[in-house]
Structure 1
Amino acid sequence: MRAVRASRQDADALRAENEKAPRIPDFGRRIRDLFQPYRRPLALTIVLVLITAGLTVLPPLLTEQAFDQGLFPRGGPNLERLAEIVGAMVLVWLVSQLLGVWQTYLTATIGNGVTASLRERLFSRLQQMELGFFTRTRTGVIQSRLANDVGGVANVLSNTVSSVVGNTVTVIAAFVAMFLLSWQLALVAIVLLPLLAVVQRSVGQRRARIATQTQESLSELSAITQEALSVSGILLAKAFTRQRHETDRYTAESTRQLKLQIRQEMTGQGFFATVQVFLLIVPALVYLVSGLLLANGGDITAGTIVAFTTVQARLTWPLMGLLRVALDLQTSSALFARIFEYLDLRPAITDRADARPVPRDARLGSVEFDHVGFAYPGGPGQEPVRILEDVTFTVEPGASVALVGPSGAGKTTIGYLVPRLWDATSGSVRFAGVDVKDLQQESLLGSIGIVSQETYLFHATIRDNLKYAKPDATDEEIRAAAAAANLHDTIERFPDGYDTVVGERGYRLSGGEKQRIAIARVLLKNPPVVVLDEATSALDSVSERVVQEALDTAAAGRTTIAIAHRLSTIVDADEILVVDAGRIVERGTHHELVRLGGLYARLAAEQEAEDAEIQPA
């Protein structure tokens, strides 16, 4: 099976390699824009690079003078002139090295600054995306864009400018020096360079295609790692003895990544070997041509030949550097394409230009659904998936409404339409008398507290997790919120109290303790509206009673929308809405709905029967 999977992946890789390399509109402009905040240090870097590159041409010219004017002038060695030339050579190298250190500091500052800014912009963009983006995108893939893709272009961002400018100036200066020394020998040194440029472009395009596949494979590896090595993933694998399967899945993708890395590394090695051979045989050709010129009465001195070969030798690394930078830029275009793809994302849910804050008046806390419909977007060429149809109800400030019904009926979707985690596709949802699409998202979300079935806690202390709701909360406020959530005494029994580290996703705490931390967070936030999304469905009966008491405290004096699985938790709701297949099919109080004898009555009877079966004899 693994062999079949591997061969299929290789076939997919070959097909992808035959596709065109990624193209980025306005690529050059967008790269320049990344460096805009660093204009002054960048300008200084370019000046330093120009000076340093210019200085590198002086030693070969000084070498010619050392031979012709110091060591072998007519009349014998001129030691005084030789000392002056040697002193000038030492000074040039000393200044070059000092400027190089300064230049390295500037390029490191600029490159790492641009990389950090790029990573921060990506993270900020992702924070703005709607909930739907994250439900259809694997977390590991998102993490790979932030880590692998941005990390992959870091070296290009750090070294490209200085390398391009420095090597270009060095190459131009070297060519000028070579023509000044001997135009005949210079022609020998550059005759094949145009052909090398053409070959380099072809190699770069191929490496760009392979780089795209490599980054996609890295994304898959990150996704597998995130899924399989999370606490939930490890528990699932152990519970179903699927550790070997997860290892095989990772190994298969790691093998594909290895092959891609090798292919990317080896692509172009033949080209660079050819360039190296060409540059290495040039001195031999120079000696041959020099001999021919001398044999035909040419005016070439030993100093000219030594200086020329010295310049040509110094040309090797700058020229190779330019070719590698050009190749790296073509290769990194695949990474930049993936980065810019995320930077160009536009949230589906945004504030309108005239959006306003939630009005703080008598209607604060009211929630109205007016013939609301909702559908999840379908995939390419697919119809949207209808979830809600013609949902209408009103919750007055301070009142409580419960949503009940079969799984998949649309209860949670209704709850998430209030804070605009999703947007209604028809009808309108009003908060405090205003359509939520006309309200500022930050103001709207700040007015709503959400307690979900799956509580997310950070790998931090209990205090830090509570202060996430209100960073400036005092210890007294934290303790009061914990006490109101029936949590303070439990925390005090821990050896470290509020400084207890809860572990990854809070796995060091029980389900009931995690839920009460979530409730305490909402109490610290103190919103006028609370959405309770099946907050007790995963708890045992004892924990459920404790958490329910905390929920009752959280709901007191607030508008409450409770999505319930256990009907016993919502019998006192002001109104119960029974949702089935995306529609409200019944509404009323608990007693009214039981007497009605419809879906709610059947659900209540089934739960009573289940509770009776688990009662101890």
Structure 2
Amino acid sequence: MHPGPGPGPGPHMMRAFVADPSVTKQRVRRGTIARIAGYARPYRWDLAIFLLAAALSAVITVAIPVLLGVVIDRGVLPKRTDVVLGIAAVVAGLAILDALLTFVQRWYTARVGEGLIYDLRTQVFAHVQRQPIAFFTRAHTGSLVSRLNGDVIGAQQALTSTLVSTVSSTLQVILVLVTMIYFSWLVTVIALVLIPMFILPARLVGRRLQRLTRESMQLDAAMGSTMTERFNVAGAMLAKLFGRPREEIGVFAERAAKVRDVGVVRALYGSTLFIALTLLASLSTAVIYGAGGTLVVNGAFQVGTMVSLALLLNRLYGPITALSNVQVNAMTALVSFDRVFEVLDLQPLIEDSPQAVPLALGPRSNGSANASGPAADIVFDHVSFHYPAASEVSLASLESIALPVPERTGVRLGVLHDISFTAPARQLTALVGPSGAGKTTITALVARLHDPSEGAVRIGGFDLRDVTQESLHEAVGVVTQDAHLYHDTIRANLAYARPEATEAELIEACEAARIWHLISELPDGLDTIVGDRGYRMSGGEKQRIALARLLLKAPAVVVLDEATAHLDSESEAAVQRALKTALSGRTSLVIAHRLSTIREADQILVIDDGRVRERGGHDELLASGGLYADLYRTQFARQRPIGAGHRPGPPRGHFPPPPRFGPG
């Protein structure tokens, strides 16, 4: 019988956790504390009110033990009821005031803490959104989510619970020590003589806990990545289709076991420090009663003074314990801030230049699905491109989770080599070529998902690096083979292209995309939930919704990784009709998978090994007998496009080279 995944309890419980030196030996970078202060500046008045409340609370903390000593010496021993009742009423009033001050402190620290979480989360989210596509292809989703959740909350603790504990405890320690020395410097010195022997262990534990906290965050992110990948529809379907539940559970159990084990070690270190400080407090209390009692017997001071000293001592070691934990908490919170800053310091490769101007291609269409956009030709001028090195676009801690990070060599992979062509305005240019030739990279450059390493890409005469990304994305519409839909309503997914669109415009776009007849028959119509990644819709329905979204945007330039490559014949026919509407009157750059698209193209570019090998019309390229003729025979000749008959390919005696695999 299968014993179940992951290590079980008992002597083998800690085997799963092995400290990773690449994670645990990292230290907080210089300047982190000064940078944190910048985030606290907008909340300086809230912090000032908190500090005032904390100071008053510290005074009350000292005043109550002193008053209790007075009530013994001047009320209980002389048997004066009026003094006892009067001082008791004062103590009660101070206790109520202290409770109100505690509420004030909590209110303002919550305002600061939640405000800081909001500031950090929105800043990190906005910064991550600016990263290039290459960043998202390398980073683990779970790691990014961990930075936005766990690390941001951990950073917030540096300015809330840690700050509260530090300020309150420091004020209390100072006031209590001054008061104790006033009553008896000898007893105070005797009580404090034990403290130094606990300071060194506290510092050692603090450093160790900082390293454990950093590794714990990495391990949590790894576990989060596993859940994120397996809980979405595509990941769950893959796991079910390949039928490997034990392996899946085993992988998760292994990562969860590491999280468990590092948590046990952290708890052990934290408990050791707490137990040591509690022992210190008990021993010192015994010293107070022993030394103080002897002095009372010898007439050095009264019983009430000894009781006040004992009570003050109890209020001294609490703050000392808190301050010792503050060192630990501050160090771990600094780790969280450091991990957040690590993301914020990663500069995006694609940025608007300071001189960037809006891409002016003429007046914007009113959103009509059948309207023609302004003229905008696409020009590639001696463009070369290589993918950036990993260190330029990503962080090792977001790629390799809780594992030793291999040295990243910075090797760059060249994809495009000295490509030049023009896609004329309001015409269809088709890209064909074997897998891995560079077709998808060309379309990505048009949408400025990458910048060329050499040369320039222009639309309407504007170098894309000289225009604002916002205006470029308004002018360029992209539809991929696997159209992505958010887990929301059809209406919300359509309005993502143009939030101000009216109901009539949404319907018009859906009619042009040949999808309205289906939507109108759904019980909730446009308010139907499409599901995670649109999985509640068929492939053809998703593609037509994506095309309707494109039509609603009404871009001047359409970039299309042709949407019919993996559809059944009925869906293909519907999408093909929608495509004719989407491409009409617009500058179109299409990666062609269908013969019908190629035959309708005004220009065909044959891409191979990152270069334009051939260009021309369908008949012209067939007659030349080159690479296009080979591709036609192997990829297109057997297709039966909508409304077109079969045309013979090149002579059967010609055998093309074997196909290559890889990203287009």
Asked whether the two chains share a fold, i.e. TM above 0.5, the reply is yes
2:552 maps to 524
Partner of 2:378: 367
Q: Paired residue for 1:487, among 515, 527, 536?
A: 515
Give the % identical residues.
Answer: 39
Q: Is the 8 A contact 2:141 2:228 kept in 1?
A: yes
Aligned mate of 2:108, from 106, 109, 113: 106
Change (3 A) 1:71 1:321: same
* Higher relative contact order (Cα pairs below 8 Å, separated by 6+ residues): 2
3-state DSSP of counterpart to 1:360: coil
Cα drift, residue 11 of structure 1:
8.6
Is 1:437 paired with 2:439?
no
Asked whether 1:56 is paired with 2:61, we answer yes
Q: Cα offset for 1:291? A: 4.5
Query: Counterparts of 1:436-455 in structure 2 under 5 Å?
Result: 436-455=464-483
Is residue 359 of structure 2 the alignment partner of residue 354 of structure 1?
no
How far the C-alpha of 1:541 sits from its partner, in A, is: 2.2
Match in the other structure for 2:125? 123
How many Å apart are 1:409 and its aligned residue? 0.5
Deviates more, 1:26-35 or 1:194-203: 194-203
Where do 1:300-449 residues align within 5 Å?
300-361=301-362, 364-379=375-390, 380-449=408-477
TM-score (norm 1): 0.94
Indicate whether 1:65 and 2:70 are aligned: yes
CA contact (8 A) 1:419 1:444 kept: yes
Q: CA deviation at 1:190?
A: 1.6
* 1:78 shift after superposition: 2.2
Aligned-partner Cα distance in 2 for 1:372–1:532: 20
The question of whether the paired residues in 2 share the 8 Å contact of 1:22 and 1:337 is answered with no
Q: Return the letter of the residue paired with 2:513.
A: A
Paired with 2:17 and 2:559, the residues of 1 have a C-alpha distance of 46
Show structure 2 runs of 5+ residues with no match: 364-373, 391-407, 646-664
**Range moving further from structure 2, 151-160 or 515-524:** 151-160
Paired residue type of 2:320: L
Q: Which one of 25, 29, 38 corresponds to residue 24 of structure 1? A: 29
Q: Are 2:485 and 2:493, in contact at CA under 8 Å, matched by a contact in 1? A: yes
| TM superposition shift of 1:70 | 1.3
CA distance in 2, matches of 1:390, 1:270: 65
Cα shift at 1:10: 5.9
User: What is the rounded CA distance, in whole Å, between the counterparts of 1:39 and 1:459 in structure 2?
Assistant: 40
Contact persistence 1:211–1:332 (CA under 8 A): no
**CA separation in 2, counterparts of 1:93 and 1:292?**
32
Counterpart position of 2:85? 83
Among 154, 160, 163, which residue is 2:162 paired with?
160
Give the CA deviation at 1:14: 2.8
Q: Residue 543 of structure 1: which of 542, 546, 571 is its match? A: 571
Matched residues, number: 608
- Residue 251 of structure 1 corresponds to 253
Task: Say which structure is richer in helix.
Answer: 1
CA drift at 1:213: 1.1
What is the Cα-based RMSD across aligned positions, in Å?
2.3
Q: Are the counterparts in 2 of residues 446 and 527 from structure 1 also a CA contact under 8 Å?
A: yes
Kept in 1: contact 2:6–2:250 (CA 8 A): no
SS at 1:353 equivalent: coil
Distance 2:529 2:201 in 1: 58
Q: In 2, distance between residues paired with 1:318 and 1:69? A: 29
Residue 291 and residue 3 in structure 1: after superposition, are their counterparts in 2 closer, same or farther (change >3 A)?
closer
The question of whether the paired residues in 1 share the 8 Å contact of 2:195 and 2:280 is answered with no
Asked if residue 209 in structure 1 is aligned to residue 214 in structure 2, the reply is no
- The 2-side partners of 1:10 and 1:24 are apart by 31
**TM-aligned CA deviation for residue 303 of structure 1:** 1.0
Return the match for 1:40 from 37, 40, 45.
45
Q: Is the 8 A contact 1:21 1:334 kept in 2?
A: no
- CA-to-partner distance for each residue in 1:42-67, whole Å, 9 max, x for gaps? 11111111111111110111112111
Following TM superposition, by how much is the alpha carbon of 1:3 offset from its aligned partner in structure 2, in angstroms?
Answer: 8.2
- Secondary structure, counterpart of 1:387 in structure 2: strand
Contact 1:115 1:157 in 2 (8 A): no
Distance in structure 2 (CA, Å) of the matches to 1:608 and 1:335: 55
When the two structures are superposed, what TM-score results if normalisation uses the length of structure 2? 0.88
1:558 aligns with 2:583: no
Using the alignment, how far apart are the partners of 1:531 and 1:394 within structure 2?
A: 14
Shift of residue 478, structure 1, vs aligned partner = 0.2
* Deviation per residue, 1:339-370 (Å, 9 max, x gap): 11012121011111111111235985111001
Report 1:229-248 matches (<5 A).
229-248=231-250
**Correspondence for 1:174 among 173, 176, 191:** 176
Query: What residue ranges of structure 1 are gaps of 5+ in the alignment?
Result: none
SS across alignment from 1:571: helix
- Specify whether residues 43 and 364 from structure 1 end up closer, same or farther in structure 2 by C-alpha distance, changes over 3 A only: farther
Structure-1 separation of matches of 2:238 and 2:498:
34
